[in-house]
Amino acid sequence: YGKNTIKFLRLHKEGKKHFVKEVEVCAHLRLTSPQEYLEGNNCLVIPTDTIKNIVLVLAKKNGIPSLEQFAIDICNHFMTTFCQVAYVKTYVQEVPWQRLYEDGVPHIHSFICVPDGIRFCEAEQCRNGPLIVFAGIKDLKLMKTTQSGFEGFYKNEHTTLPERHDRILCGELFCKWSYGECKDFDFDCIWKKIRECILEAFAGPPDCGEYSPSYQKTVNCIQMLVLSRVSQVQVMEVVLNNTFYNVVDMKNLGLTNDKEVLVPVEAPYGSCACTLGRKKFFEA
Amino acid sequence: YGKNTIKFLRLHKEGKKHFVKEVEVCAHLRLTSPQEYLEGNNCLVIPTDTIKNIVLVLAKKNGIPSLEQFAIDICNHFMTTFCQVAYVKTYVQEVPWQRLYEDGVPHIHSFICVPDGIRFCEAEQCRNGPLIVFAGIKDLKLMKTTQSGFEGFYKNEHTTLPERHDRILCGELFCKWSYGECKDFDFDCIWKKIRECILEAFAGPPDCGEYSPSYQKTVNCIQMLVLSRVSQVQVMEVVLNNTFYNVVDMKNLGLTNDKEVLVPVEAPYGSCACTLGRKKFFEA
Amino acid sequence: YGKNTIKFLRLHKEGKKHFVKEVEVCAHLRLTSPQEYLEGNNCLVIPTDTIKNIVLVLAKKNGIPSLEQFAIDICNHFMTTFCQVAYVKTYVQEVPWQRLYEDGVPHIHSFICVPDGIRFCEAEQCRNGPLIVFAGIKDLKLMKTTQSGFEGFYKNEHTTLPERHDRILCGELFCKWSYGECKDFDFDCIWKKIRECILEAFAGPPDCGEYSPSYQKTVNCIQMLVLSRVSQVQVMEVVLNNTFYNVVDMKNLGLTNDKEVLVPVEAPYGSCACTLGRKKFFEA
Amino acid sequence: YGKNTIKFLRLHKEGKKHFVKEVEVCAHLRLTSPQEYLEGNNCLVIPTDTIKNIVLVLAKKNGIPSLEQFAIDICNHFMTTFCQVAYVKTYVQEVPWQRLYEDGVPHIHSFICVPDGIRFCEAEQCRNGPLIVFAGIKDLKLMKTTQSGFEGFYKNEHTTLPERHDRILCGELFCKWSYGECKDFDFDCIWKKIRECILEAFAGPPDCGEYSPSYQKTVNCIQMLVLSRVSQVQVMEVVLNNTFYNVVDMKNLGLTNDKEVLVPVEAPYGSCACTLGRKKFFEA
């Protein structure tokens, strides 16, 4: 198979007000025959240059109503236009431009880049199979300064980690969920709702939080909340890359340090990942 | 001289509410004698490990009231404690943790990383000289989708660029300003005011913007507005790394493209930089 | 499942001569029960801190005879020590330190980092299943300045790419192969042999090269040569990330440019990937 | 002032043998008048697009005989062509393509990227001033596994570092030297000689090495050796970014670790820098 990446900006005006979407599109194609590899016969090969042109032409003609709809449009185009395509997957990622506000007033044509989690989606289809849509958020960095611990874990002669009931929980989240064979969803609205669920499940109630006994359990809480609140989600994968913080031992400097000064531990860093689907959910 | 970088987190509670600052501190020291280099005599050398301990101890004892005050505290400590230090410069940069909000309600101990411009500061001092404080913002990405052009430039046989009166203006800003020998400033408040000035000067009025005839002029507008509105600023340096966008030519694809689909031009990318001080300002 | 990364250096002396290996180890574990996720019950969880200790202890006791043997040792340790482990995968990657030479004389304890392709390996095992070993090379950047073209590809109304019979072929290779259930292989020796095959298949004979009709065919040539020359390899995956170079059009500058000055095309960049196994090989 | 970066490849043939240079060129210009900034008057501004064209045209016409000569050519062109240019600086950096060898035989048109230190140079000139040439190497990673210590440093109540007489010395070197107003130098030959001096001064004799009492002293040794052996060098700046390695304490795991297993310390990392010139050299 082959893939390639195109980055571009789609500008759109309503009166004097400007709307901008900058996206990175990556298209994977697998052809019905591997003759290009085995025989060096290029007659079925669709050059990356052509793929780029198609993506840009679709953006020009249809705009980018939502990342997901744009990914679907691209998939559909390849499947209906090229009979030599056996499989197509389209990944679309957004540059997080947000409208600039001055004293609460939105600016008609100025934007600021705010990368507090990057939205992406995928659409994939095998010939004669259903078109499946995924969406997600990545590079979302969150921290809880309390209400997190790690106790009661397995111990043997190689264990040196002490039990902790009040540590920092900090990490970078990658979440990806499937909408199945989606109908006419309001993708933007659903995505925002899921983002809110993720934040809520991570942090707990604003006034007191919720105790997390492990990174793993926090991952599961996120999945459970999204699956219970957002019926359109079929399966959800969550990966949490942990950043550990150690309380600095200041005894030899003549000071006590009551979780006031902490340093990030670069290695080992860990991650935990889990994929949870609807069926599993009801079984659990 | 030598320098070293320390990253750590300072946690602070008021009742049940948590406050967090994660900073990266870089300390440069120059000693009065180069004997460590020339003779391998280490007797005056302050190990990076000791520097790290001092920074952490100061954070523990004083907290981080503001980035600037913390940088000043470190400078003062080195100058008063070590007579072999001829020069000290302290750079402090913030990890942009922001309090998490759920439905508009602030969370007492959860935070999200929002890197829409990174705040930093510097304090520097030569022995027997004044302590000077700088502050700044970097990695601030902004875009105007109209009200920008570039015309009337110098032309010769190597010129191929067409004149444009309606292009995209997009770039990454680095701004650094000096407060001179600062007194008891409210550094947080001034910094926020300057950030607002930068955005306003870049974008212009929310309802119509303001035409920019070049990246250079936009740089100058930022400096002029900050110097006119914020009396504490003595000198301001601005570097604007440009991202150019080209309107895709779709003629050979049978389409007109009225600045709707654009691609970023990776090379050449340019930057323009200018330092403007108060004296120059009045002369201008 | 969970994974974590540990970076360390293993030093070893023979008389006064020093040998150094710096590696990054990443261990993935899946447990027999998901109770840590679903119930927050940590009693089977092996903390990343313990995993780090085990990896370091194995490095201390056994050294790192080869990356592959070290990966196998780690897998074996987890499978035999922890009955709650259902699956283990170990990834080991080398920092490419090479002995320093002065006028052709090897230095007994000095090294230089030469990242012309990074060696890595993987060992993986399910409980009651075989232990499978993979090896590979990544970040290997190669270029052919001629003997490459791309012609006869599929064309339609979105095609703008011209046919070319003398272009630059440049890319970054990722190659990964499986040794199956390996016996007592000389992993270092085999790896070097495979690296040579990759270079030879990419470049062709030193005096004339070999024409490549596409990136895809070059990928296939690499796989065919390795599978035919190295009997221990069962399956081989190759991914080639292409960098395209365009001959600069200098007509409007009054010059002809006979493939003398070229600029890399940043977007779209493409990649092609193929996995070829022994059975397929004989079928082909 | 403004600057911009251009990356391109220059191909050159002698018979059937190909030679390739891929470079990144960055040109800084300062104009005689700041009117572009203050008044938005672009009439003297040389667009980055024009600068790119000039660099490419010079590469086409003159080739790249050496990085330094190419940088000089660009400076000369700007100074003689544009009277509005008050200052020009040209930075040229090489992509480290090396000819591929198969069984010791050089390939006529295939290359491999070997980034074991990146060569760069700078040429700079003020109007009516001399043209000064600098050259350098960066990203050169070196390690000594013994013959390094750090003892006798300054101690006070914040000192926790133990003295060590047998530690790892590892770091990334940046070296930049000035040739003054250079005549017709063989830049390639001198550069290679200096690189050898750097390696020799870092490592010491191949059979026994040479003890380094500090990173600072190693920096000085490099400067002294280069200045004493290479008469063309006027001033030399060296920055050494240190990576510290700690011997892992395995007592609580029931093992002794005689500098066999070490982990890199991510923070604080330090660097030491020094600039040494000929006059200083004789004074020392």
Higher model confidence: residue C247 or residue B276?
A: C247
Same domain, B200 and B251: yes
Q: Are D149 and D165 in contact (CB under 8 A)?
A: yes
User: Would you say residue C134 lies in a domain?
Assistant: no
Last residue of a domain, one of D63, D96, D129: D129
Q: What is the pLDDT of residue D278?
A: 72
Do B148 and B23 fall into the same domain? no
Chains that touch A (3 or more CB pairs under 8 A): B, C, D
Q: What phi-psi label fits residue B190: left (phi over 0), alpha (psi between -120 and 50 degrees) or beta?
A: alpha
Give residue A283's pLDDT. 37
pLDDT of B180: 80
Owner of token pair 């990928």: C219
pLDDT at D17: 97
Q: How far apart are CA A181 and CA B1, in angstroms?
A: 63
CB pair distance less than 8 Å for C2 and A47: no
**Contacts of residue A265 in chain B, CB cutoff 8 Å?**
none
> Band of the pLDDT at C283, cuts 50, 70, 90?
very low
Residues C149 and C275 in one domain: yes
pLDDT of residue C277: 81
| Closest partner CB to A160 (pick from D158, D252, D263) | D252
Pick from B53, B98, B110: nearest CA to B77: B53
In a domain, A175, yes or no: yes
**List of chain D residues whose C-beta atoms are within 8 Å of the C-beta of residue A267:** 263-264, 266
Task: Tell me which residue of C94, C119, C124 sits closest to C175, measured CA to CA.
Answer: C119
Q: What is the helix (H) or strand (E) element at residue C188, kind and residue range? A: helix C187-203
* Pair D185, D135: CB distance under 8 Å: no
| pLDDT tens-digit map of C95-130 | 999 999 999 999 999 999 999 999 999 999 999 999
Q: Which residues of D touch C140 (CB under 8 A)?
A: 112
How far is it, in rounded angstroms, from Cα C253 to Cα D53? 8
Are residues C37 and A156, on separate chains, in Cβ contact within 8 Å?
Answer: no
pLDDT tens digit sequence for A240-264: 999 999 999 999 999 999 999 999 9
Q: Give the nearest chain C residue to B252 (CA atoms).
A: C160
**CATH at residue A87:** 3.10.270.10
Judge whether D244 is annotated as a binding position.
Answer: no
d(CA D271, CA D221): 16
Q: Using the beta-carbon criterion (under 8 Å), do B145 and A57 form an inter-chain contact?
A: no
CA distance D224 to chain B (A): 9
Residue ending a domain, among A102, A129, A156, is A129
CB nearest B116 (choices: A114, A196, A200): A114
- Residues B75 and B43 grouped into a single domain: yes
Kind and range of the H or E element at C191?
helix C187-203
For testing contact with chain C, the best of B155, B244, B253 (most C CBs within 10 A): B253
Residue A181 lies in a domain: yes
Could you tell me how far CA C214 lies from the centroid of its own chain? 22
Of B49, B154, B274, the CB nearest to D45: B154
**B134 within some domain:** no
Mutation target vs B (from D54, D150, D272; most B CBs, 10 A cutoff): D272
pLDDT bin (cut points 50, 70, 90) of residue C271 is confident
Give chain A's mean pLDDT.
Answer: 92
Chain B residues in contact with C266 (beta carbon < 8 A): 266-267
Inter-CA distances, C78 with B3, C22, C125, C132, C187, Å: 42, 22, 10, 15, 22
**pLDDT for position D151:** 95
pLDDT at residue number D283: 37
Work out the end-to-end distance of chain A between its first and last CA atoms, rounded to an integer number of angstroms: 38
- Give the model's pLDDT for residue A284: 32
Q: Model confidence over D56-74: pLDDT tens digits?
A: 999 999 999 999 999 999 9
Show the CA angle centred on residue C245, arms to residues C242 and C249, nearest 5°.
160
Q: What is the pLDDT of residue A267?
A: 61
Residue positions of B in the annotated binding site for O2?
A: 48, 242
**CB interface of A with C, residues 203-222, below 8 Å:** 213-214, 216-217, 219-220
Identify the domain containing residue B147 by its residue range: 141-281
Q: Is the CB of C263 less than 8 angstroms away from the CB of B267?
A: yes
Query: What residue of A is the nearest CA neighbor of D160?
Result: A252
Q: Do B49 and B155 reside in the same domain of the chain?
A: no
Q: B57 lies in a domain? A: yes
* Span C15-66, pLDDT tens digits: 999 999 999 999 999 999 888 888 889 999 999 999 999 999 999 999 999 9
Q: Lowest mean pLDDT: which of A31-35, A182-186, B56-60, C225-229?
A: A182-186
Q: Which two tokens stand for residue C15?
A: 């008389």
- Please enumerate in sequence order all residues whose Cβ is within 8 A of that of D62, keeping only pairs 6 or more positions apart, or say none: D70, D73
Interface contact A252-D160, CB threshold 8 A: yes
Residue ending a domain, choose from A107, A129, A151: A129
Residue of D nearest to A267 (CA): D266
Query: Who among C157, C160, C266 is closest to B267 (CB)?
Result: C266
The residue in chain C having the minimum alpha-carbon distance to the alpha carbon of residue B249 is C160
- A153 has binding-site annotation: no
- Which tokens go with D64? 């790249």
Helix or strand or coil: residue C196?
helix
Q: Would you call D259 and C114 a contact, using CB atoms and an 8 Å cutoff? A: no
D146 shares its domain with D118 = no
Contacts of C263 in chain B (CB under 8 A): 267
Return the residue of C nearest to B264 by Cα.
Answer: C267
The residue type at D169: L
Q: Is D150 annotated as a binding residue?
A: yes
Residues of A in contact with D157 (CB under 8 A): 253-254
Q: Which of A46, A161, A217 sits opposite C49 (nearest CB)?
A: A161
If asked whether residues C123 and C145 sit together in one domain, one would say no
Residues 225-284 of B with CB under 8 A from D: 242, 267-274, 284
Instruction: For A64, list phi and psi in degrees, rounded to 5.
Output: -125, 80
User: Between chains, do D45 and B156 touch, taking CB under 8 Å as contact?
Assistant: no
Partner-chain residue, chosen from D38, D50, D153, that has the shortest CB–CB distance to B158: D50
Instruction: List b or e across B28-50, with b for residues whose CB sees 16 or more CB atoms inside 10 angstroms.
Output: bbbbeebebbbebbbebbbbbbb
**How high is the pLDDT of residue B268?**
56
Residue A229 labeled ligand binder: no
Cβ contacts of B12 on chain A, cutoff 8 Å = 260
Residues of chain B with pLDDT under 50: 280-284
Q: Do C160 and B254 touch (CB under 8 A)?
A: no
pLDDT computed for residue C2 by the predictor: 66
- Tokens 């690189």 belong to D195
Phi and psi angles of residue D192, each rounded to the nearest 5 degrees, phi first: -65, -40
* A210-214: long-range pairs with CB below 8 Å, 24+: A210/A147, A211/A147, A211/A148, A211/A149, A212/A144, A212/A147, A212/A148, A212/A149, A212/A169, A213/A149, A213/A150, A213/A151, A213/C40, A213/C42, A214/A150, A214/C36, A214/C40, A214/C42, A214/C45
Residues of A in contact with B115 (CB under 8 A): 115-116
**C-beta atoms of D60 and C112 within 8 A:** no
- Report d(CA B236, CA B214) in Å as an integer: 19
CB contact under 8 A, A142 and B112: yes
Q: DSSP alpha helices (H): ranges in chain B?
A: 35-38, 48-62, 67-81, 187-203, 215-229, 278-283
User: Which tens digits make up the pLDDT trace of C116-174?
Assistant: 999 999 999 999 999 999 999 999 999 999 999 999 999 999 999 999 999 999 999 99
Cβ-based neighbour number of residue B191 at 10 Å: 21
Q: Which residues in chain D are closer than 8 Å to A253, comparing Cβ atoms?
A: 157-158, 160
Angle between the N-to-C axes of helices A67-81 and A48-62, in degrees from 0 to 180, rounded to the nearest 10: 130
Tell me the CA distances in angstroms from A269 to A240, A245, C5, C82, D267, one per residue in order.
Answer: 11, 10, 6, 21, 15
The DSSP bridge pattern shows strands D269-277 and D2-14 to be unpaired
Q: What is the pLDDT of residues D94-119, one digit of tens each?
A: 999 999 999 999 999 999 999 999 99
Average pLDDT value over all residues in chain C: 92
B104 within some domain: yes
Residues A163 and A111 in one domain: no
**Which residues lie across from A170 on neighbouring strands?**
A143, A243
Interface contact flag, A142 B100, Cβ < 8 Å: yes
Half-sphere exposure of B262 (CA within 13 A, CB side): 25
Closest of A180, A173, A174, A83 to residue A123, by C-alpha? A180
Which subunits sit against D, judged by 3+ Cβ pairs under 8 A?
A: A, B, C
Determine the pLDDT at residue D267: 61
pLDDT interval class at D2 (50, 70, 90)? low
Same domain, D104 and D205: no
- Domain assignment present for D230: yes
Mind spelling out the 3-state secondary structure of chain A? CEEEEEEEEEEEEECCEEEEEEEEEEEEEEECCCHHHHCCCCCCCCCHHHHHHHHHHHHHHHCCCCHHHHHHHHHHHHHHHCCCEEEEEEEEEEECEEEEEECCEEEEEEEEECCCCEEEEEEEEECCCCCEEEEEEEEEEEEECCCECECCCCCCCCCCCCCECCCCEEEEEEEEEECCCCCCCCHHHHHHHHHHHHHHHHHCCCCCCCCECCHHHHHHHHHHHHHHHCCCCCEEEEEEEEEEEEECCCHHHCCCCCCCEEEEECCCEEEEEEEEEHHHHHHC
Residue with tokens 């990242």: C115
Residue with tokens 């009516």: D128
Residues C54, C57, C63, CA angle at the centre, nearest 5°?
A: 125
Those residues with Cβ within 8 angstroms of residue B275's Cβ, 6 or more apart along the chain or in another chain: B235, B236, B237, B238
- Does this model's pTM top 0.90? My answer is yes
* Nearest chain C residue (CA) to A240: C2
Is C175 part of any domain?
yes
Neighbouring chains of B at 3+ CB pairs under 8 Å are A, C, D
What is the distance of C-alpha C162 from the center of its chain? 33
What is the average per-residue pLDDT within C210-218? 94
- Hey, is the C-beta of B189 within 8 angstroms of any chain C C-beta? no
| Same domain (yes/no): A71, A155 | no
Are both C153 and C273 inside the same structural domain?
yes
| Claim to verify: residue B74 and residue B151 sit in the same structural domain | no
Whether residue B160 and residue C252 make contact (CB cut-off 8 A), yes or no, is yes
The Cα–Cα gap between B223 and B201 comes to 9
Residue A180 falls in which region: left (phi positive, over 0), alpha (psi -120 to 50) or beta: left
Closest CA to D88 of D36, D35, D132: D132
Number of domains in chain A: 2
Q: Which of A73-82, A119-128, C265-274 shows the lowest mean pLDDT across its residues?
A: C265-274
What tens digit of pLDDT does each residue of D182-224 get?
Answer: 778 999 999 999 999 999 999 999 999 999 999 999 999 999 9
Out of C48, C271, C272, the one facing A268 most closely (by C-beta) is C48
* Cα gap B274→B175, rounded to integer Å: 10
Pairs of residues, one from chain B and one from chain C, whose beta carbons lie less than 8 Å apart: 17
Interatomic CA distance for residues C249 and C236, integer angstroms: 40
Residue of C nearest to A51 (CA): C158
The ipTM of this complex is: 0.94
Reading the block at residue B34, the tokens are 């180069």
Cβ of C4 within 8 Å of Cβ of A284? The answer is no
A37·C3 Cβ contact <8 A: no
